[in-house]
């Protein structure tokens, strides 16, 4: 199933995307007054609601044309910081070393950091250039995993049971801030520096572990092209390791890292500028499109 958060007549709600992405059925058409108002609530109540949503969406001929609504990020206001992986594709580790001041070796344990978000941008929403605070704005196309079921010390064999679904995330990064402060937090957390979408594909629709082609284009130029099979630490390792002594909760988002081809990897670097169109795509999930403003 594909689910999305959207605005229609000024009202933000959640729906099931159907009909080869031509239509979206608002949850309140499927569940009436019992419908969750947000994606977070849908995730928290998924075990209970899934059978009804699944049955009714296949019999429903209602819904809205996707072209008549505005998709926003699936989780526009995550409850907690986005959990991110750094240096999780070998070729990206090499190009990251070019920035200087960072250890260039392939990590022997997952490299975690977090990204504070105010409002996650959805597909078609703008990413601020922040030209007054950064001159090195960069893109990072990543597979995002959305946790469905709470857990800690999650056994590798049980990881898939804790996943609600997958989306595409652009881990927008101010490289100069990342470098200057010797810690990634600020450079990763500028307002509007996180985009996600266009939808969440529920875990049952993607064979586990996910092996999906991932790409990023800027103004039509192919910059990143890889497969999630190239992750140094895969989804099973990430979730089982990160959850040791730490509770993952429904709605937590884990962004699994970016492959080679980010702007800083080019000579000279190709930083984002106002007016650029960034398209991050993952096979089976879709394309997240954002203009830099």
End-to-end CA distance of the chain: give it in Å, rounded.
32
Taking CB under 5 A as the binding criterion, the range among 38-46, 153-161, 163-171, 196-204 that sits at the site for Mg ion is: 163-171
| Least distance to Mg ion, CB of residue 113, Å | 8
Q: Which residue is nearest to Mg ion (CB)?
A: 171
Smaller CB distance to Mg ion: residue 140 or 252? 140
Query: What is the total count of residues that contact Mg ion (CB under 5 A)?
Result: 3
* Stretch 234-263 residues interacting with Mg ion (CB under 5 A): 258
Smaller CB distance to Mg ion: residue 96 or 200? 96
| Least distance to Mg ion, CB of residue 287, Å | 18
Smaller CB distance to Mg ion: residue 228 or 258? 258
* Stretch 164-193 residues interacting with Mg ion (CB under 5 A): 171
- CA nearest neighbour of 173 among 286, 92, 68, 80: 92
Smaller CB distance to Mg ion: residue 86 or 165? 86
- Is residue 125 involved in binding Mg ion (CB under 5 A)? no
Taking CB under 5 A as the binding criterion, the range among 42-50, 133-141, 206-214, 219-227 that sits at the site for Mg ion is: 133-141
Smaller CB distance to Mg ion: residue 37 or 106? 106
Of 140, 215, 252, 279, the one binding Mg ion (CB under 5 A) is 140
| Least distance to Mg ion, CB of residue 31, Å | 36
| Least distance to Mg ion, CB of residue 119, Å | 19
3-state secondary structure the chain: CEEEEEEECCEEEEEEEECCCCEEEEHHHHHHHHCCCCHHHHHHCHHHHHHHHHHHHHHCCCCEEHHHCEEECCCCCCCCCEEEEECCEHHHHHHHHCCCCCCCCCCCCCEEEEECCCCCECCCCCECCCCCCCCCEECCEEEEEEECCCECCCCHHHHHHHEEEEEEEEECEEHHHHHHCCCCHHHHCCCCCEEEEEEEEEHHHCCCCCCCEEEEEECCEEEEEEEHHHECCCHHHHHHHHCCCCCECCCCEEECCCCCCCHHHCCCCCCCCCCCEEEEEECCCEEEEEEEC
Dihedral sign for Cα atoms in the order 49, 51, 52, 58: positive
| Least distance to Mg ion, CB of residue 53, Å | 32
Smaller CB distance to Mg ion: residue 29 or 258? 258
Smaller CB distance to Mg ion: residue 171 or 276? 171
| Least distance to Mg ion, CB of residue 170, Å | 9
Q: Which residues bind Mg ion (CB under 5 A)?
A: 140, 171, 258
């Amino acid at each position: 199933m594909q689910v999305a958060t959207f605005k229609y007549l000024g009202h933000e709600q959640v729906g099931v995307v159907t009909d080869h992405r031509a239509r979206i059925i608002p949850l309140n058409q499927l569940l009436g007054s019992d419908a969750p108002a947000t994606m977070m609530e849908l995730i928290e109540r998924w075990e209970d609601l899934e059978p009804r949503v699944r049955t009714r969406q296949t019999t429903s001929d209602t819904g809205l044309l996707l072209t008549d609504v505005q998709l926003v990020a699936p989780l526009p206001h995550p409850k907690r910081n986005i959990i991110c992986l750094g240096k999780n594709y070998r070729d990206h580790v090499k190009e990251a070393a070019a920035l200087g001041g960072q250890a260039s070796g392939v990590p022997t344990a997952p490299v975690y950091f977090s990204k504070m978000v105010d409002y996650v941008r959805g597909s078609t929403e703008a990413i601020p250039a922040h030209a007054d605070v950064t001159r090195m704005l960069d893109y990072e196309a990543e597979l995002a995993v959305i946790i469905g079921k709470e857990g800690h010390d999650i056994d590798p064999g049980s990881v898939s049971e804790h996943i609600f679904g997958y989306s595409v995330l652009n881990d927008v990064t101010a490289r100069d801030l990342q470098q200057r402060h010797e810690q990634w937090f600020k450079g990763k957390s500028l307002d509007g520096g996180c985009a996600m979408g266009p939808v969440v594909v529920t875990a049952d629709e993607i064979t586990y572990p996910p092996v999906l082609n991932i790409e990023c284009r800027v103004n039509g130029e192919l910059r990143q092209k890889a497969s999630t099979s190239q992750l140094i630490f895969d989804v099973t390792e990430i979730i089982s390791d990160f959850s040791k002594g730490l509770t993952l909760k429904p709605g937590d988002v884990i962004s699994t890292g970016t492959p080679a081809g980010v702007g800083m990897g080019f000579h000279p670097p190709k930083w984002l500028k106002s007016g650029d169109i960034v398209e991050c795509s993952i096979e089976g999930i879709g394309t997240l499109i954002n203009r830099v403003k």
